[in-house]
């Protein structure tokens, strides 16, 4: 993904909303709509039809099952289209054995700038359509992904608007790739911006109040533009312990309604991400009570 410098205005011209017509997808739809309105973007709603081997026992059953799937999908896409009425949009249905190749083609063909999807957040044998591939999507996607997890419906309802944005970083290059997006979303929504670093353990000097130039708090404040405080009322915070837990607890305590994370570029080798990093991203997406925007380096 092409790097964007802090201070540059983020441009979102085309948004891809992925749907499997499930409840998580329904919860995600208003966020796609509101972001499109805020940025003046066109929304592409995509549903990937996948063959069900259990229904294809004979040639006749294949035709019947295929027609039934397509008719149901058309009806659902018409309903989604009604939610997008009055704004630039397009609904799309495509057959595909796998999700990612179809999504990748849609990103390229439609010059997508942002993906929005809902996920079940399930693990193991219970993983479903957007639950099983959600991490693959945000790890592979060349554009940022807004994932609306299973806990979002239990959180504070804000009409799909963001009033407090949390940017979490460990100061690595991949985590800092998300910083311009955190700034932009805070600015577009006139939201408060919280910068967070979760350290594994407290440093003795910092515990006694001796803040050095390399301390996390100083480094967080250094990220801010000199005039950022005029519009986003930034707050910097340092917590200690497990990164995923620290991000989730800070988000809950501060009433955050958008978490922004930068993730490592592992598009070709998904296993290259460390276990800790994979666990952190998955944990935050699965348990956050607000949407999570992931930006791949």
Burial 158-192 (b: 16+ CB within 10 A, else e): bebbbbbbbbbbbeeebbbbbbbbbbbbbbbbebb
Q: Quick one: 84 exposed, middle or buried, by C-beta within 10 A (0-12, 13-18, 19+)?
A: buried
Task: Give the mean pLDDT of 224-248.
Answer: 82
Domain end residue (candidates: 154, 185, 211):
154
Contact at 8 Å (CB) between 24 and 120? yes
Same domain, 76 and 183: no
Asked, for residue 9, whether it belongs to a domain, the answer is no
Quickly state the pLDDT bin for 31 (edges 50, 70, 90).
very high
pLDDT, tens digit (0-9, with 9 covering 90-100), for 9-30: 688 999 999 999 988 899 999 9
Asked, for residue 7, whether it belongs to a domain, the answer is no
Task: Give the mean pLDDT of 112-123.
Answer: 83
pLDDT, tens digit (0-9, with 9 covering 90-100), for 149-192: 888 876 655 677 899 999 999 999 989 999 999 998 998 888 99
- Here the CATH number for the domain that contains residue 282 is 3.40.50.620
Tally the domains of the chain.
2
In eight-state DSSP terms, residue 289 is: S
The whole-number pLDDT of residue 155 equals: 64
Asked, for residue 225, whether it belongs to a domain, the answer is yes
Percent residues over pLDDT 90 in the chain: 49
Same domain, 21 and 149: yes
Asked, for residue 206, whether it belongs to a domain, the answer is yes
Asked, for residue 120, whether it belongs to a domain, the answer is yes
Contact at 8 Å (CB) between 269 and 176? no
109 or 66: whose pLDDT is higher? Answer: 109
146 beta partners:
116, 293
Same domain, 119 and 199: no
Asked, for residue 6, whether it belongs to a domain, the answer is no
Residue 92 has pLDDT above 50, yes or no: yes
The whole-number pLDDT of residue 275 equals: 43
Domain end residue (candidates: 129, 154, 179):
154
Sign for the pseudo-dihedral over CA of 219, 221, 225, 231: positive
Same domain, 211 and 284: yes
Same domain, 257 and 126: no
Q: How far apart are CA 52 and CA 112, in angstroms?
A: 29
Q: How far apart are CA 248 and CA 234, in angstroms?
A: 19
Alpha-carbon distance values, 182 to 217, 233, 243 (Å): 18, 13, 18
60 or 38: whose pLDDT is higher? Answer: 38
Alpha-carbon distance values, 114 to 3, 148, 177, 227 (Å): 15, 13, 15, 27
CA-based Rg of the chain, rounded to a whole angstrom?
20
Contact at 8 Å (CB) between 36 and 11? no
Same domain, 198 and 223: yes
Chain center to CA of 264: 14
pLDDT, tens digit (0-9, with 9 covering 90-100), for 260-286: 999 986 655 555 444 446 678 888 988
Instruction: Work out the mean pLDDT of the chain and round it to a whole number.
Output: 82
Full domain range(s) for residue 122 = 14-154
Domain end residue (candidates: 154, 187, 205):
154
The whole-number pLDDT of residue 13 equals: 97
């Amino acid at each position: 993904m092409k790097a964007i410098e802090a201070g540059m205005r983020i441009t979102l011209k085309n948004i891809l909303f992925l749907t499997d017509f499930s409840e998580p997808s329904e919860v995600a739809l208003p966020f796609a709509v509101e972001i499109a309105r805020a940025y003046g973007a066109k929304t592409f709603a995509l549903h990937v039809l996948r063959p069900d081997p259990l229904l294809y026992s004979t040639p006749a059953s294949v035709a019947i099952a295929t027609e039934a799937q397509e008719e149901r999908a058309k009806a659902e896409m018409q309903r989604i289209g009604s939610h997008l009425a009055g704004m630039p949009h397009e609904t799309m249905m495509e057959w595909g054995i796998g999700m990612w190749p179809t999504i990748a083609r849609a990103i390229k063909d439609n010059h997508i700038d942002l993906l929005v999807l809902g996920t079940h957040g399930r693990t193991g044998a219970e993983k479903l359509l957007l639950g099983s591939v959600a991490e693959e999507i945000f790890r592979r996607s060349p554009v940022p992904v807004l994932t609306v997890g299973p806990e979002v419906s239990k959180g504070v309802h804000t009409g799909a608007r963001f009033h407090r944005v949390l940017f979490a970083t460990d100061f690595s290059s991949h985590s800092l790739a998300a910083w311009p997006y955190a700034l932009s979303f805070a600015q577009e929504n006139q939201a408060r911006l919280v910068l967070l670093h979760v350290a594994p353990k407290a440093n003795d000097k910092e515990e006694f109040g001796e803040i050095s130039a390399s301390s996390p708090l100083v480094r967080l404040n250094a990220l801010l533009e000199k005039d950022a405080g005029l519009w986003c009322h930034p707050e910097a915070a340092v917590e200690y312990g497990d990164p995923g837990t620290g991000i989730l607890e800070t988000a809950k305590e501060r009433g955050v309604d958008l978490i922004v994370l930068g993730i490592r570029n592992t598009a070709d080798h998904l296993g290259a991400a460390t276990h800790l990093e994979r666990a952190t991203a998955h944990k935050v997406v699965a348990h956050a009570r607000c949407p999570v925007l992931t930006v791949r380096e």
